[in-house]
Structure 1
């Protein structure tokens, strides 16, 4: 079996993912509160509201405090001249090799939460699918995008 990739994503990814988790969990809490109000107004059984609040609490703890650290520890990537090796997953570990000859284009993208921490993600598109290396420092993401682009062009010239 091949050794795991060496490169990690930026440590600030944990902060960005926590902030994203807070945003989505805030939406979940708004829904929970709305349902609790409906339960109160229509005199439905209170245990439904209690179950929803417990689910929301557990979801918030997992999404904001546990999941970002686990994701950070498991994300790895490495760039070789002939391929890109990406490893990620928590319960199911996914190891992907993307041949340079299959790369059609490479992008960087940055949402508002990544932008706050000067992070960007690199997306690698092939004919079949798109692969992403999330939450790299902006400079590293740009350098990686340019390096992959250059290696993909060299492989096309060799064909």
Structure 2
């Protein structure tokens, strides 16, 4: 199969990924900000609050954490969704992802050791799931696809792996 025709076979993840990423990352951001504020106001400011430079540093760091949290929670999911693609071919799986650093991960099907379908609580609400692909070299994920699509992918990959094992 040529590169040009393969590129047409790449699929996007489900649009609901954006919502689940926003919710999940917002929860994490709120926890991080709450811990930071608690530590600063309970421990650091009471002891060292008289040092003006330290006070300014604490506020500047808080501002940086909030800005990064807003970007990570509300901007990044839209950009990330637009970049995420996956393709499943007869001999490999390709994952294309990344915003600043674009990654193209190629997983030979013969290297797959385990397949898992996982669904977190936020994914369950939005009726999407993830397929985890485990190889000797690591762990890869196709996030935010429908359960039906995840089951098709795992069954198809199992079939391809079984055919490959019979041919060896």
TM-score with structure 2 setting the length: 0.86
- Name the SS of the counterpart of 2:75 in structure 1: helix
- Name the SS of the counterpart of 1:141 in structure 2: helix
Corresponding residue number in structure 2 for 1:32 = 36
> 1:112 aligned to 2:121?
yes
| Alignment partners' CA distance in 2, 1:112 and 1:124 | 20
The answer to whether the 8 Å contact 1:17/1:68 transfers is yes
Give, in angstroms, the shift of residue 47 of structure 1: 0.5
- Name the SS of the counterpart of 2:101 in structure 1: coil
Corresponding residue number in structure 2 for 1:144 = 153
| Alignment partners' CA distance in 2, 1:67 and 1:57 | 14
- Name the SS of the counterpart of 1:104 in structure 2: strand
The number of residue pairs the alignment matches comes to: 159
- Name the SS of the counterpart of 1:132 in structure 2: strand
In the TM superposition, what whole-angstrom CA distance separates every residue of 1:47-78 from its partner, at most 9, and x where no partner exists?
02311221122112111111111111111001
Give, in angstroms, the shift of residue 102 of structure 1: 1.7
The answer to whether the 8 Å contact 1:123/1:133 transfers is yes
2:24 corresponds, among 9, 20, 35, to: 20
2:59 corresponds, among 44, 50, 57, to: 50
Farther-moved stretch of structure 1 (6-15 vs 142-151): 142-151
- Name the SS of the counterpart of 1:29 in structure 2: helix
| Alignment partners' CA distance in 2, 1:9 and 1:132 | 11
Give, in angstroms, the shift of residue 115 of structure 1: 1.6
In the TM superposition, what whole-angstrom CA distance separates every residue of 1:108-159 from its partner, at most 9, and x where no partner exists?
1111222221111101122222221111111111111111111111111111
- Name the SS of the counterpart of 2:141 in structure 1: strand
Structure with more helix by fraction: 2
Corresponding residue number in structure 1 for 2:15 = 11
Give, in angstroms, the shift of residue 2 of structure 1: 4.1
> 1:41 aligned to 2:46?
yes
What is the root-mean-square deviation of aligned Cα atoms in Å?
Answer: 1.8
